[in-house]
Amino acid sequence: MGDESPDLCEDLRNVRENDDVTLTTTEGEYRASCEKITTNHSSDPDVVRNDTNLWFMVGGRECVVQVTDGLTRFEWQDEYPYHTPLFDETNDENLGYITGVEIHGQMPEA
């Protein structure tokens, strides 16, 4: 999996919930708002890994990207960090790997 994904766009780590952003992917450019960020820590003591999911609203579609960080213990493991493509959960569609992030600021409170 990791060898398919381009290097992680480090600006993705600066995105916070309620941020208004422009996401540049290998498939195009999307204006979005970050709706939620969740982090899961591996419960296996032999695996030091965190999976962070960033949920975005892109033109009314719910989309997610997962960033995996950790410590590589074996040479057969993928190098960390790696990430999934931005995935449109609403339409079951891959929107490409995120290659750039422009943060415009926080969305106004509703």
The answer to whether 15 and 36 have CB atoms below 8 angstroms apart is no
Give the residue-averaged pLDDT of 97-109.
89
Residue 108: per-residue pLDDT: 73
Q: How confident is the model over 24-81, as pLDDT tens digits?
A: 999 999 999 999 999 988 777 666 778 899 999 999 999 999 998 887 666 776 777 8
CA distance 28 to 57: 15
Domain ranges of the chain: 2-106
Residue 5 DSSP one-character state:
S
| Burial (CB count <10 Å: 0-12, 13-18, 19+), residue 101 | buried
Give the residue-averaged pLDDT of 88-105.
95
More confident residue, 61 or 82: 61
**The dihedral formed by the CA atoms of 50, 11, 60 and 27, expressed in degrees to the nearest 10:** -100
More confident residue, 101 or 80: 101
CATH domain 2-106 topology: Topoisomerase I; domain 3 (2.70.20)
